[in-house]
Structures are given as C-alpha cells and as structure tokens.
C-alpha cells in the first residue's frame, strides 16, 4: 500500500492509495558516472518489483458506507501492470481478500506470466480494513480518517 503520486491524475481523483503485490525484493550496487559524480564507489539501491492492482468502481473512505474497497489486477500485457518502487514509500502491508463469488480469472489455471503469478489470480479482491481501539478512540489504519 503506497500513497498516490500527486501527478498521477488517473488514480488521485478516485482513491488516495495504490495497492500492489510484491513479486520480489532486490538490491543493486550501482556506480553513477553522470554529471555531478563524486567517486567511483558503488552505492546500494534497494527496490521492490510489484504487480499493481487497480481500484474497481468508486470507493469511499467513509466507514458508514459499510463496503470494502474492491480491486483487481489489470491485464498482464498492460504497460503499467508491473513496476518498481522504493521500499521506503510503502505505508504498510494490508490484507487482500479474494472475491470467491466472482471466481478465478483463469479457471483453467493457465496464465500468461510465470513471473507475475497470474495463473492463480481471482477476478476481484477486497481490501480489508483494520480498526484499532485506543482509549475508546477508533483509529482506522487503512484508508479511513481518525474518528474520536
């Protein structure tokens, strides 16, 4: 779960977060040789390889609507189906619940990408909300505002 990039108009109007499945955790030791180079020492760069979810329909951060946010994977062939993110941009992990009633995306179990693990995809998912009680103050830790 990450915050929407301010310049990403496609998602910013609908939902404050983007969700992704982490496919791998990696690092590289890179030597920068461009303008402003200081030395030839390698620097460790950590990143996550992710497969993005897309939000289905409209979602509301209000608890009173009694509906969980619905998400699904875009097609594997889409240009923005996969991406790389900085681990420090991750807000928190969240529980993604399959929508069992909608079935599997590939009932035959044959997907397009072994790396993307799309053969086991469900047609839709729900984002579970976690509520923590502190001194009779309900704090919603995923996309909900604080209510006291």
Q: Which two tokens stand for residue 80?
A: 């923005």
Is 65 a member of any domain? Answer: yes
pLDDT in tens, 106-146: 666 565 665 656 767 878 898 887 665 565 555 555 554 44
Residues 70 and 124 sit within 8 Å (Cβ to Cβ): yes
Is 50 a member of any domain? Answer: yes
Position 74 pLDDT exceeds 80: yes
Cut 0.85: pTM above it: no
pLDDT in tens, 26-35: 999 999 898 9
Residues 70 and 55 sit within 8 Å (Cβ to Cβ): yes
Is 146 a member of any domain? Answer: no
Residues 121 and 81 sit within 8 Å (Cβ to Cβ): no
How many structural domains are present in the chain? 1
Is 90 a member of any domain? Answer: yes
Is 148 a member of any domain? Answer: no
Summarize the confidence of residues 16-37 as an average pLDDT.
Answer: 90
Residues 69 and 15 sit within 8 Å (Cβ to Cβ): yes
Structural domain that includes position 129 = 2-140
Is 145 a member of any domain? Answer: no
Greater model confidence, 42 or 143: 42
Average pLDDT, the chain: 77
Is 64 a member of any domain? Answer: yes
Give the lowest-confidence range in 32-41, 51-60, 102-111: 102-111
Q: Which two tokens stand for residue 40?
A: 């030839």
CA distance 66 to 92: 22
Which residues are within 8 A (CB) of 20 and not within 5 positions of it... i.e. 6 or more apart? Answer: 1, 2, 48, 50, 51, 52, 53, 83, 85
Is 126 a member of any domain? Answer: yes
């Amino acid at each position: 779960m990450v915050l929407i990039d301010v310049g990403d108009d496609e998602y910013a109007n609908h939902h404050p977060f983007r969700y992704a499945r982490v496919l791998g955790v990696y690092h590289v030791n890179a030597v920068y040789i461009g303008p402003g180079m200081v030395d030839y020492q390698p620097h460790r760069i950590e990143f996550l390889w992710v497969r993005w979810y897309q939000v289905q329909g409209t979602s509301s951060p209000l608890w009173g609507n009694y509906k969980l946010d619905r998400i699904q994977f875009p097609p594997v062939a889409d240009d923005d189906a996969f991406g790389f993110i900085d681990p420090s941009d991750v807000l928190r992990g969240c529980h993604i619940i399959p929508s069992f009633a909608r079935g599997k995306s590939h009932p035959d179990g044959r997907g397009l990408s072994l790396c993307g693990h799309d053969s086991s995809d469900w047609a839709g998912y729900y984002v579970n909300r976690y509520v923590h009680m502190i001194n009779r103050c309900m704090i919603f830790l995923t996309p909900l505002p604080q209510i006291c």
